[in-house]
Amino acid sequence: MIGTLVNTGCIIVGTLVGTLFKKGLGEKYTTALFNAMGLASLALGASSFVQNMPKSEFPVLFILSLAIGGVTGTALDLDGRVKRAISKRGGESLATGLISACLLYCIGTFSIVGPVLSALQGDNTFLFTNSTLDLVTSTVFATTFGFGMILAAPILFLWQGSIWLIAKLASTSPLLQGTLVNELAIVGGVLIISSGLSILKIKDCKTLNYIPSLLVPVLWFLIKSLF
């Protein structure tokens, strides 16, 4: 868990530093950083998709995942519920930033594979690398969206902590074999791209409605392991 604790701490530190810098920035610089985060989201999402797609044993699984997850999330109105809850406390801008940050911090190869390697092999290399990236990213996010971005820290801790615990308890499970991590990274890459489009105000895809898509590969591998 040391890797996850370091990663969480880096987000907290980055947010505090970014909040201090925010006070001295004008609107044009804030807009520039806002656009930078949108472009970074597109780049990171595309990278995750391109790197993991060739490793997939089920190339159409991500399509089914997005379709099933999107319908489920839309029926539950996940995007609307979360944005309304956050907007009441910090405004629509904070809601957009927090959702985007959580996707960048949590839905990536480092953040998914890292806790698994930490639990199974005691290797925190991925998590320490992710910590460095998140330190920079959280600073920029806080510079743009403010102190409220610190809420992403406990979300990341719960996300990575849950993956670490599941991997620890199910070290011999078929779920940790095959290409499950690759499939999650592919779907996650698409979600990060969607988030980037929202930040750049190109298209609001209501990204949170697609979060259930991440459960589809898990269910697929679970069912597959029974036969």
Query: For the chain, which residues make up each domain, given as ranges?
Result: 2-225
How far lies 72's CA from each of 25, 76, 181, in Å? 40, 6, 22
Instruction: Say whether pLDDT at 135 is over 80.
Output: yes
Q: Annotate 23-86 with DSSP letters as a single string.
A: TT--HHHHHHHHHHHHHHHHHHHHHHHHHHGGG-S-TTHHHHHHHHHHHHHHHHTHHHHHHHHH
Nearest to 85 by CA among 95, 96, 99, 77: 95
Position 223 confidence tier, pLDDT thresholds 50, 70, 90: confident
The mean pLDDT value for 166-183 works out to 68
The residue whose two tokens read 């910090």 is 90
**What is the per-residue pLDDT across 14-37, written as a single tens digit (0 to 9) for each?**
899 888 877 666 677 767 777 887
pTM of the model: 0.72
pLDDT at 97: 76
